[in-house]
Structure 1
Amino acid sequence: MSLEKLNKVLASTYENFPKGKFISLIVLRTTYSETIFRTEGSGEPMCSEFVQAGLTDETIISRLVMTKRKQVAPERRYGREFLRAHDLLYTKKVKEQGEEKEVICSLNTNKPCEMCVDCFLYGFAAGGGGAQKSRIWTEDAFSVLSANDVIGNRTINAIYENGTMRLKREEDTKASQALVPDGEYIKPGVHFLDVVTLKDVTADELRYIIGNILFTSRYGAVSSRVGRMENQILGVFGSITELPSSLELVQATYDVLGKPLEHPLNINQLITASKQVIANWKNKRGVSVQLSEEELGNLVTDVETNWSEAERDNFLKRLTQSYESFRQIAPEKSKGKGKGKGKNTLVEVEI
């Protein structure tokens, strides 16, 4: 079994109370198209912070930031797509305008079902008082190179439906104005290093989370046009506490790479440097497990197998069933899932 070495830091079953089991994933995120990470609307600057370049290099530089929400939200939506497709999202009774109705679990509506895989793993805060803390701990991911090196700006022309910048009417005296719809963008080939910490997760929960990370491919604003990224797991650790932060990982990797560094950065050199840094983490306080290259490859294969077309339905239903004893179903309603008849009606429970 590919997860055997992690058994000591995996929870055997889900429980309401924490047990001090940590699994940390070292993730390399690489842009493969223009990408936009900003906090507000069009024209806002890219998210960035002034930080020390390395642990030993005390130069202050501005680094791009992929905020925690920019990471988790697309990955969470990816997993929910398949929960919905396999009829594994639950419904909940709510009152709207004096009428009681059932609504399907949905993000950002203050109406979580509190009973699906997504709610149990990524957490929720319901208006009625129920709450579940996320067991996927994230933090801001930082670019290896400075923001000045990896940000571009492009102006595009406003083209009419006739394919030109004029509508060819007599009153037209000049061409349409050029537009800058998004302002700055992050160039392709930009690398972000990230540490994702999982707390008290079971083997199937680990498979679900890693699948969401590996298979999510669009991030940031205007993701239907830009924002293509690829995620790669460089290391997996088990411990009784958190590992060094994402910023410390980036700074240590920057020191190993040395100067001068410029965009585009060779990804193989970056991976080698990052693995050199995390190889020393096995001696950090609290670390008990580090997967070897072969074991990591077997883990990824295991995840891909469980997420495959042939196994995905069994895998998701098995994971959903693992929370059954923690669900409280209203007795007057018959059991059922999803959008069809006989949906689950859920009593709001604090867990």
Structure 2
Amino acid sequence: MSFLTTIDAKYFHSEIPAKPMGKYIHFLTIRVTESYPLFQTDGELNKARVTAGIEDKKPITRLAMFKRKQSTPERLTGRELLRKYEIGDSAKCDYNVEFSKTTPDCILYGFAIGDGGSEKSKVVVDTAYSITDFDDSHLNFTLNAPFEHGTMSRQGEVTSRINQQDHILPQTFFPSIITLKDATEAGFLYILNNILRTRHYGAQTTRTGRVRNELIGIIFADGEIVSNLRWTQKIYDIMLKNNQINPPDPLNEDDVLDAGNTAINELISDEFIEHQDFIGNNLKAILEEVKSITSNENQLKKLLIQANKESLAYAQKYILKLSKSKSK
């Protein structure tokens, strides 16, 4: 079943292959914080000491958004949709507890169940870094837990339920490239829909962590492209030259998106791979067609059913069959 007219079918497989076949799809996203999210480990915000740019060699500390902080919310978005429309064995899936081994989530994002088998992820996500310095991208909040009547004291005693926590500031930008390997058309749409729909990342996702994903390009290639860090450093160099980095003022989103476009076009021209780029205006027609599919319930269900059909066929051929043979 075909869904797209704006992208040549040659970039997709007719079925999910068992071996790497050299078809890479790179989603170029700028993740924009819209509240005060927490990307942390052991109670502290994740960060890394790196050079500011490719040309600007001064060291700075950047906020880091680890790969699991990005991929986990996106795959949960897809699982939610599969359960909503009761597609496949999605009801059996319980993240980090039990996997069906047959759904698009399991086959595309991968799973590991100890002796119960595993599947390598076809979605490659690497750590993303803030464009701006850590000191200009976070704020320390004092948190409390008041009693029922709204104060911190009761019967003359003051509660000790007060804590401090660093939070990432709104309008902090994390350039991130998500790579999908050897996809069918339905698999491509499934992953893209998850990226565009996901709105919360990091800890305490029910109360904070609002993040918007701005897709600025899609690159079809026969190999991997530039890293998140190098793209971020190139963006920093461009914005610094244009006097667009003026802490403590937040970055202007239009400036960031323009710099992201310019940076990736310059960096991709240095890559030793064959590639077809849909960036900027070339992306608009694709996004309009994708929107017409994912915002229409009937079309969306057809997409999810097709993605599940392909994943089930792959599982029956390469996972479940192998599991049965090992158990004999």
Q: TM-score scaled by structure 2?
A: 0.89
1:270 alignment partner in structure 2: 256
Query: What is the count of residue pairs matched by the alignment?
Result: 315
Please say if residues 103 and 312 of structure 2, whose CA atoms lie closer than 8 Å, have aligned partners that are also in contact.
no
Where 1:328 maps in the other structure, the secondary structure is helix
AA partner of residue 205 (structure 1): G
Matched, 1:207 2:179: no
Alpha-carbon distance in structure 2 between the residues aligned to 1:140 and 1:157: 31
2:108 alignment partner in structure 1: 121
Where 1:79 maps in the other structure, the secondary structure is helix
1:316 alignment partner in structure 2: 304
Matched, 1:69 2:68: yes
Alignment of 1:1-351 (within 5 A): 4-40=6-42, 44-90=43-89, 104-109=92-97, 111-167=98-154, 169=155, 172=156, 175-177=158-160, 179-180=162-163, 183-258=165-240, 259=243, 260-262=245-247, 263-283=249-269, 284-308=271-295, 309-328=297-316, 348=323
Where 2:114 maps in the other structure, the secondary structure is coil
Alpha-carbon distance in structure 1 between the residues aligned to 2:254 and 2:4: 26
AA partner of residue 58 (structure 1): K
Q: Percent same amino acid among aligned pairs?
A: 30
Alpha-carbon distance in structure 2 between the residues aligned to 1:166 and 1:324: 57
Alpha-carbon distance in structure 2 between the residues aligned to 1:53 and 1:3: 41
Where 1:183 maps in the other structure, the secondary structure is strand
Please say if residues 231 and 267 of structure 2, whose CA atoms lie closer than 8 Å, have aligned partners that are also in contact.
no
AA partner of residue 29 (structure 1): R
Alpha-carbon distance in structure 1 between the residues aligned to 2:324 and 2:119: 10
Please say if residues 47 and 64 of structure 2, whose CA atoms lie closer than 8 Å, have aligned partners that are also in contact.
yes
Query: Is there any run of 5+ residues in structure 2 with no aligned partner, and where?
Result: none
Please say if residues 145 and 261 of structure 1, whose CA atoms lie closer than 8 Å, have aligned partners that are also in contact.
no
Q: How many Å apart are 1:128 and its aligned residue? A: 2.6
Please say if residues 22 and 197 of structure 1, whose CA atoms lie closer than 8 Å, have aligned partners that are also in contact.
yes
Where 1:325 maps in the other structure, the secondary structure is helix
Q: Structure 2 vs 1, CA of residues 152 and 315 (structure 1 numbering), >3 Å: closer, same or farther?
A: same
- Point out the more displaced range, 300-309 or 56-65: 300-309
Where 1:71 maps in the other structure, the secondary structure is helix
Q: How many Å apart are 1:31 and its aligned residue? A: 0.5
AA partner of residue 254 (structure 2): N
Where 2:106 maps in the other structure, the secondary structure is helix
Q: How many Å apart are 1:147 and its aligned residue? A: 0.6
1:334 alignment partner in structure 2: none
Query: Is there any run of 5+ residues in structure 1 with no aligned partner, and where?
Result: 92-102, 330-344
Alpha-carbon distance in structure 2 between the residues aligned to 1:249 and 1:292: 15
Alpha-carbon distance in structure 2 between the residues aligned to 1:177 and 1:282: 54
AA partner of residue 323 (structure 2): E
Alpha-carbon distance in structure 1 between the residues aligned to 2:277 and 2:144: 52
For residues 198-246 of structure 1, what are the alpha-carbon distances to aligned partners after superposition, in whole Å with 9 as ceiling and x for unaligned?
Answer: 1101111111111101110011011111100000111111111111100
Q: How many Å apart are 1:347 and its aligned residue? A: 7.9
AA partner of residue 179 (structure 1): I
For residues 125-145 of structure 1, what are the alpha-carbon distances to aligned partners after superposition, in whole Å with 9 as ceiling and x for unaligned?
Answer: 222352211110010000000
Please say if residues 2 and 298 of structure 1, whose CA atoms lie closer than 8 Å, have aligned partners that are also in contact.
no
Q: How many Å apart are 1:348 and its aligned residue? A: 3.4
Q: How many Å apart are 1:89 and its aligned residue? A: 4.2
- Point out the more displaced range, 252-261 or 64-73: 252-261
1:335 alignment partner in structure 2: none
Please say if residues 143 and 165 of structure 2, whose CA atoms lie closer than 8 Å, have aligned partners that are also in contact.
no
Q: Structure 2 vs 1, CA of residues 125 and 156 (structure 1 numbering), >3 Å: closer, same or farther?
A: closer
For residues 149-184 of structure 1, what are the alpha-carbon distances to aligned partners after superposition, in whole Å with 9 as ceiling and x for unaligned?
Answer: 1110111344211222332x3xx2x5434612x511
Q: Structure 2 vs 1, CA of residues 163 and 288 (structure 1 numbering), >3 Å: closer, same or farther?
A: closer
Q: How many Å apart are 1:294 and its aligned residue? A: 3.7
For residues 37-95 of structure 1, what are the alpha-carbon distances to aligned partners after superposition, in whole Å with 9 as ceiling and x for unaligned?
Answer: 1013xxx220000001000101000000000000000000010001111222428xxxx
RMSD: 2.3
Q: How many Å apart are 1:124 and its aligned residue? A: 1.2
Q: How many Å apart are 1:297 and its aligned residue? A: 1.6
Q: Report which of the two has the higher share of helix.
A: 2
